[in-house]
Structure 1
């Protein structure tokens, strides 16, 4: 089972690297394929458009039969993301998870969540209240947080340099 988990996550990391068109990147933390940092740009035509969002990803022992464990590292002003901890309220990260989901599709779902909040099932009740009571003001605050906490240069693709010969 451990080898199946390792093989699958390595294939999924490679799939993210092979297709740069969606701008999703995944990097290993301390060379572990089971602890990752994912990044993606905010959706176009949204308050998150100018952001580059970072997500901490842990691959549980039971993957792919258990969901990936994810939380935003970047602060996000959104009803379904804790403004304190980065915890995410998304059904596919809980009871709607199936092994059909991959690292890439899950990160794409997070990006889609930014444009499609579910204020009736919030992770952050105060942000959800702001969203439902004064949408324009919510959008302005979300944009300000994006510029303050998720503004970053696009990731640079670098190649490993060879060690100089003596």
Structure 2
């Protein structure tokens, strides 16, 4: 059975220094403390800088003796899976949700291409680092940036303008890219008009 008293203590501890760490964990619903949503800032000096990444957290019945299950809710790569040893066989009850999220943040700073969750991304990291950085920056701008209004801005104008070529380079069919960008541009314009009135 999940130790909910510990979970509540961890949530308070984690959220207490949010202003310093940028890390936050909240229940997805007040009725279920076993399903949480964590957020981490993109590490400074990486292509993820400036992004806020949401992480879906599910606590198994054996928590804290079993590791939490975490996956990116914010698009970072194709699968959203997180390949981290402390979320598998290296978990210890001495670890907390905050230390796990700090480890995920550190993984964004220093990916482990020798033990990847996404083999395509790992190959890109090893063989064409500049393309890896460009792709990671693009995904950060497209899915993890927060506007000055505090509203998640999934498709900033700068991203819409440069997305076509990048999306095609990533292997998406040109017709699909064009139709998707047209829809997104219309939605972005409508949102900007609504916000300016």
Q: Same fold (TM over 0.5)?
A: yes
TM-score w.r.t. the length of structure 1 is 0.85
Q: Which has the higher contact order (CA 8 A, sep 6+)?
A: 1
Query: How far did 1:87 drift?
Result: 1.1
**Aligned residue among 103, 116, 119 for 1:125:** 119
Structure 1 consecutive aligned stretches of length 4 or more whose deviation exceeds 6 Å: none
CA distance in 1, matches of 2:82, 2:9: 25
CA distance in 2, matches of 1:95, 1:17: 27
Partner of 2:44: 44
Q: How many residues align?
A: 148
Query: How far did 1:155 drift?
Result: 10
The answer to whether 1:24 aligns with 2:23 is yes
Q: Does the 8 A contact of 1:26 with 1:36 survive in 2?
A: yes
What residue ranges of structure 2 are gaps of 5+ in the alignment?
151-197
Secondary structure, aligned partner of 1:106? helix
**Aligned residue among 142, 156, 162 for 1:148:** 142
- Please identify the structure whose Cα radius of gyration is greater: 2
The answer to whether 1:93 aligns with 2:92 is no
1:125-164 CA-partner distances (Å, limit 9, x unpaired): 01101000011111011001100011124897xxxxxxxx
Q: Which has the higher helix share?
A: 2
CA distance in 2, matches of 1:93, 1:13: 18
Partner of 1:33: 33
Partner of 2:9: 11
